[in-house]
Amino acid sequence: MLVDDEEGVRRFLGLSFEELGYEVKTAANGREALDLFEEFRPDIVFTDIKMPVMDGIQLLKSIKMQSPDTEVIMITGHGDLDLAIESLKFDASDFITKPINNGVLEVSLERARARFNMKLQLREHTENLEKLVEEKTRRIIELERQNAASQVVEGLSSALSNAAQEVETGSGLFNELPCLVSIHNRYLEIVAHNTLFEERLGNQVGNNSFDIYSDRDSPGNACPVQKTFDTGKGQRSKENFLGKDGEEIPVTVYTAPLPNNDGDIELVLDISVDMTELKRLKDELLTTQYKYQRVFNDAPCYITVQNSDLSIAEANHLFKRDFGQSVGRHCFDSYKHRSEPCSDCLVRKTFADGKTRQRETVVTTLSGEQKNMLVQSAPIYDAAGEIVQAMEMSTDITEIRRLQDHLTSLGIMLGSMSHGVKGMLTSLDGGIYRLESGLIRNDEVRVKDATRVLKSMIGRVKKMVLDILYYAKSRELETEVLDASDFLKETADIAEAKSLAAGVEFVCNVPDGLGELKLDSAAMSAALVNFLENGVDACEGRNVDGGGRLEFFAVRNGDNLIISVADNGMGMDQETREKIFTLFFSSKGKRGTGIGLFISNQTIEQHGGSIEVDSSPDKGSKFIVTLPLKTEG
């Protein structure tokens, strides 16, 4: 379904989708789309964000409430960046910017279709497994009931004194029972048996009691009948009879002594239940369980089975490898490093309404590797139809996200910087005008001011172009050898103005003689300023003892330069610390795009450096950057 208030867009994209083999219906606004959605039920919805009557965000929320599995892709203009990023929080699959490139459109469609098919396959496998387990469980319960009914025979010794006569005459209770019934004398001879016994084992009257067993070949190898005579007590055991065609028949044997008038054991009653079908079902169930256990353990994704308190009952091999032995621990502790459940926990929602859920998130393995995951949850029912556990399956989509980043980040950067570009172009026009008028009037002061403005604007344009090129294609660093102390002091001067304007104390301790650095000064300065400005934002407006404080220190350690940026601001929990260098992740809400720290991290790694982060909630943050110094030669 295609939703856009522009008829030309609907007609153009509609033709494109039909050429790709999709059935397409269109709507001019969100309200019309909801009415169409009820009868059409599309797998994928493309919708513009800004529309009359009902906008795309409202339409996205309404569709996800009715059909969480439907994939929704947002269409946005360059000025709608905030709304586009916000749509991802409401489970939009993707967003593409106008004008729409056919290549990007096909990639987005293919990814949405793959996600939709994955959901269908998971639901189908889950339903088939539940049906199979329910069927096997019902059959086993039926046979166990039949088995349990036979156990009452053990307490009926005193009431069975006439059993031999009934068996011999072929009438009465024992010929009606679906069991193998036989009577044995004290000489361990079979004196009578019922009709079913003869059908299965042949006529055994007069033969030894132990002859009917497959593994008893003499009185020295005591059978249940012999043990009953020896102990005077009934016996219960699992045995194998020999059928009349030589086949083994698994049975559960129950024996009971039959005393004479003097109280001496004269006969033994043997009632045996044929367990052939039960054994076959148990073997089949074990085979099925082994098969699904292998699928569970060998699946190329993370799978956990969780209880209602979110503790992990089972985990597959891949999960244990990357997150350790987590059985018994809570899921949010094992792989989200949280002390309490996530606010949007899928498993909790599944326990509440029995519906499958899915969302995307970022997790960190034991080795510190960050992965983008597509997480899906599904209920697990017991025989009574109650939800007893929930399964959570997480698929690694890191490579898919990397591909998406390359395809969309240039558009995002251009959209977010469009207003800045206009402002800088205006400033350039003004600077050129002042330069020209200064030259005409031979006004040196005016010429110097105009030159300073032009230098500043050209530097900002250069930085912006480099950021755009960073996403558009790989580029080499434009390095130069600089004095480390001078470079860091100039960087500190840039951040100090913002710090003082925000009422945050700025402390700079950059000694002379730190050595030389070989770096791209524009890129590295932007990276360090990013850390400093974030420190100001973390302190601004917080009521802390002594007020906000931002520290910028540097020290030489052998062949390395250690740079420290520390603040006493709001701090971060472990989950936030692990995600801050992820593209598009931001803890600032709509005030942040989630791009700055990602670029800073990439810049420092390109220079052969590294970053360490030390932070706790309400205790501030410290970023420690290590850069290699230029050595002689």
Residues 514 and 624 in one domain: yes
Q: Model confidence over 144-164: pLDDT tens digits?
A: 665 554 443 444 444 444 555
Residue 605, H or E segment = helix 596-606
Kindly state whether residue 112 falls inside one of the protein's structural domains.
Answer: no
Kindly state whether residue 36 falls inside one of the protein's structural domains.
Answer: yes
Residues 60 and 156 in one domain: no
Which one of 374, 395, 416 terminates a domain? 395
Residues 198 and 241 in one domain: yes
- Specify the pLDDT at position 172: 58
Distance of CA 553 to the CA centre of its chain: 40
Residues 31 and 93 in one domain: yes
544/568 Cα distance (integer angstroms): 8
CA angle 6, 9, 11 (to 5 degrees): 110
- Specify the pLDDT at position 296: 79
Residues 312 and 179 in one domain: no
Q: Are 490 and 484 in contact (CB under 8 A)?
A: no
User: CA of 22: how far to CAs of 109, 455, 490, in Å?
Assistant: 10, 53, 58
Kindly state whether residue 111 falls inside one of the protein's structural domains.
Answer: no
CATH of the domain at 558: 3.30.565.10
Residues 171 and 259 in one domain: yes
- The count of structural domains within the chain is 5
| Mean pLDDT, residues 270-289 | 79
Q: Are 38 and 67 in contact (CB under 8 A)?
A: no
| Mean pLDDT, residues 230-246 | 89
The proportion of the chain whose per-residue pLDDT surpasses 70, expressed as a percent, equals 82
Q: Sorting pLDDT into bands at 50, 70 and 90, what band is 136?
A: confident
Kindly state whether residue 342 falls inside one of the protein's structural domains.
Answer: yes
Q: Sorting pLDDT into bands at 50, 70 and 90, what band is 419?
A: very low
**Most confident listed range (209-223, 284-298, 417-431, 604-618):** 604-618
In which domain, by residue range, is 29 found?
A: 2-100
Residues 198 and 318 in one domain: no
Give the pair of three-digit tokens for residue 626. 């290590």
Residues 272 and 310 in one domain: no
Kindly state whether residue 436 falls inside one of the protein's structural domains.
Answer: yes
- For the ranges 69-78, 227-236, 395-404, which has the lowest average pLDDT? 395-404
- Peptide bond before residue 99 is cis, with ω within 30 degrees of 0: yes
1/40 Cα distance (integer angstroms): 8
- Specify the pLDDT at position 157: 43
Rounded to the nearest integer, the mean pLDDT of the chain is 80
Q: Model confidence over 432-455: pLDDT tens digits?
A: 877 888 888 888 888 888 787 777
Residues 420 and 487 in one domain: no
Which one of 229, 247, 280 terminates a domain? 280
| Mean pLDDT, residues 556-574 | 90
Give the pair of three-digit tokens for residue 501. 């304007």
Which one of 433, 452, 472 terminates a domain? 472
Residue 472, H or E segment = helix 444-472
With 90 as the cut, is the pLDDT of residue 627 above it? yes
Kindly state whether residue 412 falls inside one of the protein's structural domains.
Answer: yes
| Mean pLDDT, residues 250-259 | 90
Residues 276 and 338 in one domain: no
Residues 317 and 371 in one domain: yes
Q: Model confidence over 373-392: pLDDT tens digits?
A: 889 999 999 888 899 999 99
Kindly state whether residue 119 falls inside one of the protein's structural domains.
Answer: no
Q: Sorting pLDDT into bands at 50, 70 and 90, what band is 405?
A: low
Residues 495 and 614 in one domain: yes
CATH of the domain at 50: 3.40.50.2300
Kindly state whether residue 275 falls inside one of the protein's structural domains.
Answer: yes
